[in-house]
Amino acid sequence: MDYKFNYGKLTMDYKFNYGTITFKTSYHFTARNEFSFKSIHFLQNFFISSFSERAKATFHVPLLLFYKPYGSPQPQVLKEALSKTLVPFYPMAGRLGCDENGRFQITCNAEGVLWIEAETSSVIDDLAGFTPCSQLQKLVPTLDCSGDSTSYPLFMAQLTSFRCGGVCLGVTTLHTLCDGTTVLHFINSWSEMARGLSQISMPPLIDRTLLRARVPPTPRFHHLEYNPPPSLLGPNNPTPSSVSVFKITQNQLNTLKAKSWEHGNKTNYSIYTILAAYIWRCATKARGLSYDQPTRLLMPTDGRPRLHPPLPSSYLGNVIFMASSIALSGNLQSEPFVNTLGRVHGALARMDNEYLRSAIDYLETLPDIKAARGKPETYQCPSLFINKWSRLPLHDADFGWGRPLYAGPANVVSEGKIFLLPSPTDDGSLSLVACLQTRHMKPFEEHLYQGLMSFDNKKARY
C-alpha cells in the first residue's frame, strides 16, 4: 500500500531552515514472527469507547527525541527491536476501522507501522533550545490526512541522522488509540529491546472492557468540561500566535511553593496545582482580559490512578480525562493566590472514580461524540490548556545512545496550549512550552518571571 506524505516523495530532498533533509528509505513492517502474531490477533477488533472517541480520527500526537553523537545510529537494530516490541503491543500495528454501527474500532490486522530513514546536512546545535515549531515538525512523519483514515498507520517513526553524528527519533501515534503514558511505555519498551534485553520489563495490559460505559449509562454529574468554551467579550479578530519556551528552576518552584502557604493555608498543594494556578493568573493578566470576562482552565488528567480499582501505568489506551475550572478574569487578577489554588485544587480533586465513570457514561449518551471533541477554539483565548508532561518518563528511552538531549512535542499549533516538560538532567527544573498570541507572549514572560522574583525571599515548606 502506498502512502502520501505532505513532504512529497521520500527520495527527494526537503528544505529545512537548518539545512536539507534527504529521505532515504521507508518501510511498512509488522511484528516479528508475523505468522504466530496473525494467528493469535489477526482481525481481532479493539473496542474504542465513546470516551476514547473524543480524539479526532486523524489526530496523531508528534513526539521528538534528540540524541547526541554516539557512534552510528544502526537503524537495523531499531527496526528489529521495533518488530519485536509490536508483538505484545499488537494493536499499534493495526488500523482504524468501524463496526456495523459506524463506530470507530481498531482492527488488529497486522498491517504494520511506518518506518522512515532520513539524513540532514544540519547539526543538532543548529536547533538551539529545541523550541517546538513547524520546522521541527518536519522531523516527524506527516501523513496527508485528506484520504481514507482507515488506511493510515497508527504509529509512525522517522530516524533522522545529523551531520554531527547526532540523531533525532520522531514518532507520531493516533491519539484515539493511546495517550502519552502508553506512547512512552511503548517507546521505552522499544528502547529496551534495542539495548538487547530478551523481553520488555513491563508488558502492556490490553483490556478494553475496563473503560466501557455502564449499562445503562448513568451520568451523575454535570460535566462542564465538555461545554462549549466561554466566548471572548468584544472584538475577536484573528491574530498570529507563536511558541516560546521558559525555564523554571528548582529555586523558583520552591518560592512558588512557599507562596502557597500564605493567608493561613494549611493544604499541601502539589507543584502541578501551584504551577497551573500561577500560569492561569499570568496568562489572564498578559491577555488583558476585561474583569467580567469568563476564562476557563483545562487540565488533562490521567485517569489510571483515579479509577477504582486503579489501572496500572501499563494499561494500553487513552485514559485522559479533562479537569476544568472557570472564573472571571477580574477575580483571578485580584484574589489572593491561595484562592486561585483552591479553584484548581477543587477541579483536580473532583476527578475521582465516580466522576470519571460518570464522564464515560455521559459521553456514551451523546448523540454525536464530535460535540465533545476539542477544537482550536476550545483552548484559545480566553481559555487555557495546561498539559503536565513533567511526570512522564520522557528521558528514559535509551536506544544505546544514552538519555535524550530533548524529548517533547515537535510543534504546538493551538493557541492557548501550554506544556510542562521535565529537565533532561534531572536538576529539578521544568520547561514551560507556551503557544500564545504573539502580542501576549512578552507580557506573559514579564508576569511569569516578575512574580517569581517577588517570591525570592520566601522559603518552601514541605
CATH number for 444 = 3.30.559.10
Instruction: Clarify whether residues 77 and 201 are in a common domain.
Output: yes
Which runs of E-coded beta strand occur in 68-199? 95-98, 104-108, 113-120, 155-161, 167-174
User: Which of 164, 192, 211 finishes a domain?
Assistant: 211
| Cα angle: 409, vertex 412, 414; to 5 degrees | 145
Instruction: Clarify whether residues 161 and 286 are in a common domain.
Output: no
Q: Is 361 a catalytic residue?
A: no
Rounded Cα distance between 255 and 264, Å, is: 16
pLDDT reading at 37 higher than 80: no
- Candidate list 60, 175, 223, 447, residue with the active-site label: 175
Q: Per the domain annotation, does 231 fall within a domain?
A: no
Of the listed ranges 18-22, 76-80, 224-228, 438-442, the least confidently predicted one is 18-22
Instruction: Clarify whether residues 194 and 273 are in a common domain.
Output: no
pLDDT at 458: 43
pLDDT reading at 7 higher than 50: no
Q: Per the domain annotation, does 226 fall within a domain?
A: no
Q: Per the domain annotation, does 346 fall within a domain?
A: yes
pLDDT reading at 33 higher than 70: no
Which residues are within 8 A (CB) of 35 and not within 5 positions of it... i.e. 6 or more apart?
Answer: none
Instruction: Clarify whether residues 201 and 70 are in a common domain.
Output: yes
Mean of pLDDT values over 190-208: 95
Q: Per the domain annotation, does 227 fall within a domain?
A: no
Instruction: Clarify whether residues 191 and 48 are in a common domain.
Output: yes
Instruction: Clarify whether residues 45 and 160 are in a common domain.
Output: yes
Instruction: Clarify whether residues 132 and 280 are in a common domain.
Output: no
Mean of pLDDT values over 290-310: 97
Q: H helices of 233-270, where?
A: 250-259
Confidence band of 39 (pLDDT split at 50, 70, 90): very low
Q: What is the sign, positive or negative, of the torsion defined by CA atoms of 417, 410, 315, 208? A: positive
Give the largest Cα separation in the chain, rounded: 66
Confidence band of 3 (pLDDT split at 50, 70, 90): very low
Name which of 297, 261, 299 is nearest 282 in CA terms: 297
Instruction: Clarify whether residues 360 and 242 are in a common domain.
Output: yes
Which residues are within 8 A (CB) of 168 and not within 5 positions of it... i.e. 6 or more apart?
Answer: 64, 65, 66, 67, 124, 139, 158, 159, 160, 162
Instruction: Clarify whether residues 324 and 423 are in a common domain.
Output: yes
Cβ pair 329, 293 in contact under 8 A: yes
Q: Per the domain annotation, does 284 fall within a domain?
A: yes
Mean of pLDDT values over 9-38: 63
User: Which of 169, 195, 211 finishes a domain?
Assistant: 211
What is the number of structural domains in the chain?
A: 2
Instruction: Clarify whether residues 207 and 256 are in a common domain.
Output: no
pLDDT tens for each residue of 138-162: 999 987 666 677 788 999 999 999 9
pLDDT at 1: 30
Cβ pair 28, 93 in contact under 8 A: no
Q: How many CB atoms lie within 10 A of CB 131?
A: 18
Q: Per the domain annotation, does 98 fall within a domain?
A: yes
pLDDT at 371: 76
pLDDT at 36: 47
Q: How far is CA 350 from CA 35, 223, 301, 347, 353, in A?
A: 47, 11, 11, 5, 9
pLDDT at 30: 72
The single residue listed with the C-alpha cell 457514561 is 361
Q: Per the domain annotation, does 3 fall within a domain?
A: no
pLDDT reading at 370 higher than 80: no
Q: Is 175 a catalytic residue?
A: yes
Confidence band of 40 (pLDDT split at 50, 70, 90): low
Instruction: Clarify whether residues 274 and 309 are in a common domain.
Output: yes
pLDDT tens for each residue of 235-269: 888 899 999 999 999 999 999 999 999 888 999 99
Q: How far is CA 210 from CA 101, 309, 312, 421, in A?
A: 21, 10, 12, 29
Instruction: Clarify whether residues 24 and 142 are in a common domain.
Output: yes
pLDDT tens for each residue of 309-344: 999 999 999 999 999 999 999 999 999 999 999 999
Range of the domain at 336: 238-391+412-454
pLDDT at 145: 66
Report the percent of the chain where pLDDT is more than 90: 67
- Candidate list 28, 126, 396, 398, residue with the active-site label: 398
Q: Per the domain annotation, does 6 fall within a domain?
A: no
Which residues are within 8 A (CB) of 364 and not within 5 positions of it... i.e. 6 or more apart?
Answer: 49, 50, 51, 213, 217
The conformation of residue 228, written as its DSSP 8-state character, comes to P
pLDDT reading at 397 higher than 90: yes
pLDDT at 110: 87
pTM, two decimal places: 0.91
pLDDT at 9: 37
